[in-house]
A = this chain, B = another copy of it.
Amino acid sequence: MTLSAWESAPTFAKADLIVVGAGAAGYSAAITARRRGLSVLMLEKQPQIGGAPGRSGTWIWAPNHRLMREAGIADPKDDALRYLARLSFPDLYDADDPHLGIDPADWVMLEAFYDNAARALDELTEAGALDPVMRSDAPDYFADLPEDKAPYGRVVVSRGRMRPDQLTGAEWVQDLHDTAVRLGVDIRVGYRVTDVVGNALAGVTGVAGESEGTPFLARALKGVVFATGGFTHAPDLMHDFMPSPVRYGGASLGSEGDFLRIGQRLGTRMRNLGAAWLAPIPLEPVLRDPTAFTTNIFALRGDSMILVNKYGKRTVNEKLPYHELGLSMLRWDPASVEFPDVRLFMVFDRGTREFFADGTSGNPVPPLDAPDGDLVSGQTIPELAAALDARLRTIDPAGRGGVTLSPDFADNLAATIARFNAAATAGVDEEFSRGSSPIELFRNGPARPGNDLNPAMFPFSSEGPYYALILAPGTLDTKGGPAIDVHGRVLDYSSRPIPGLYAAGNCAGFPSANAYWAGGATVGLAVTFGYLAACHAADSINPR
């Protein structure tokens, strides 16, 4: 927006707090602020609300929350911080150091998360936006780590209405929205914020943007909270900041790096720019339309199922948490001068489709009576390999992120399946230890009838059909951007808080580094720092 446009733009609204972005972090900030008496204006550029949780599950990971305490599940702070520090900064972690070997400024951020996650959940609960249920069956992603003293219990969901266990993401977003509306939050969709009013030194007193082509200004008396998501759908920012070859993701379409651009102009300190919440993503839907609604894969379901690369070889324990699978796909091989695992092929047989298709979000295996969708199929392994080769050449030619299969792919795949079948028959995966950790078995689900060995493995049938699904590394969303402090305040390049400017969720640079501690860590961080930002803005003494 040019200066003259700014000057002529009408100030359409004034509020104590302006919240930008209608996702988990934004609603947490808006509800918290309203309950503290602040007037709140919430601006969402898209025509619909929801952000990331609107597109996924609703797990919220929160250390030492009320339901854990009520159930007598101990989650002491020292130990929880060890788990966080050990995973986010594995090469710095020092159990004997007062700050665990990590940067003390990072330690206090982890501490702030530990201290306030439960409070943020209580806030949403008291407001009526969350009917909390502890998923005490859901383990942390590294539940086996000696530093994890509370491996079960930190995951909270909102009680289901249609389904017994939990709300869908869309249902929970609706609850958040209804609560905010009931509390009197002024929510506007179709309002795109493109800049802040103010600067890093003097502080921020409002936002500028456009709605239906008309510029607007809005004044914030106590602060502006950005909760606008990452930059998965900004190809230029992905190109500049993501490590090759992360090119796609299943994030909300609003994740276009709006706040990263504003932060660049303001001169904010940046954190975590190369990090993302990763997961494999089915390639064909994103190639057809990178902005289409696509779902990252949260569990590679199936026992008679393997992942192989372009050489027809297994490269990873298929049951690892999705973020770890995504990281594994970024392996660079200087000998072949390529990313050999940038495409992985999820290969399975009829049995996996029969016993492991459940229609849940993030499980790409379709039931037998559902259309094949993007599955490639063949009655024999050579037929499957030929069909996969043909499909790749059509949708994803070499170059532009595409790969072609190695000439020995079919032979290698047959040998890989034979070796896998032997391991499954023995129940032990000597190569990758598949099925050996709590999160693997949890995500895998129960063993198929008749499999009383390793529930995560079963020999492929000797008869087709066989299926393959083409996977690329994708983001749930990026998680780098302007750095924040323990109050969610955005920091300038000298790590000084910028008055009146807050950020929470995936638009903020939080020192989780490249770790994905557990399912729901994303939403847990988002609601906690949305809550903290609102608390700080509410306590700010001088209206500005």
Of the listed stretches A73-81, A162-170, A335-343, name the one at the interface; the rest are far from the partner chain.
Answer: A335-343
> Copy number in this complex?
2
> A240 in the interface, Cβ–Cβ < 8 Å?
yes
List chain B residues, Cβ under 8 A from A240: 269-272, 483
Q: When the two chains form their complex, are residues B401 and A92 in contact, meaning their CB atoms are under 8 A apart?
A: yes
Q: When the two chains form their complex, are residues B91 and A339 in contact, meaning their CB atoms are under 8 A apart?
A: yes
Name the CB-closest residue of B to A332: B327
Name the CB-closest residue of B to A97: B399
Q: When the two chains form their complex, are residues B269 and A267 in contact, meaning their CB atoms are under 8 A apart?
A: no
List chain B residues, Cβ under 8 A from A324: 334
Q: When the two chains form their complex, are residues A274 and B243 in contact, meaning their CB atoms are under 8 A apart?
A: yes
Size category of the binding interface on chain A: 35 or more
Name the CB-closest residue of B to A243: B274
Interchain CB contact (< 8 A) of A101 among B145, B270, B400: B400
List chain B residues, Cβ under 8 A from A91: 244-245, 247, 338-339, 342, 401
> A273 in the interface, Cβ–Cβ < 8 Å?
yes
Q: How far is the CA of A95 from the CA of B268 in the complex (A)?
A: 39
Interface positions, chain A 333-353, Cβ under 8 Å from B, are 334-335, 337-339, 342
Q: When the two chains form their complex, are residues A244 and B335 in contact, meaning their CB atoms are under 8 A apart?
A: no
Interface positions, chain A 130-175, Cβ under 8 Å from B, are 142, 145
Q: When the two chains form their complex, are residues A317 and B339 in contact, meaning their CB atoms are under 8 A apart?
A: no
List chain B residues, Cβ under 8 A from A337: 86-87, 90, 142, 145
**Residue from the set A91, A331, A513 with the largest chain B CB neighbour count within 10 Å:** A91
Chain B nearest Cβ from A265, distance in angstroms: 5
CB-CB under 8 A for A400 and B334, given A91-B342, A264-B493: no
Q: When the two chains form their complex, are residues B90 and A244 in contact, meaning their CB atoms are under 8 A apart?
A: yes
Interchain CB contact (< 8 A) of A244 among B96, B320, B331, B513: B513
List chain B residues, Cβ under 8 A from A442: none
Q: When the two chains form their complex, are residues B400 and A92 in contact, meaning their CB atoms are under 8 A apart?
A: yes
Q: How far is the CA of A399 from the CA of B86 in the complex (A)?
A: 9
Contact sample, A vs B, 12 pairs, CB 8 Å cutoff = A97-B399, A240-B270, A240-B483, A241-B273, A264-B493, A270-B270, A270-B273, A273-B274, A317-B335, A321-B334, A327-B334, A332-B514
Residues on A close to B: CB < 8 A?
86-87, 89-97, 101, 103, 142, 145, 239-241, 243-245, 247, 261, 264-274, 317, 320-321, 324, 327-328, 331-332, 334-335, 337-339, 342, 397-401, 432-433, 483, 493, 513-514
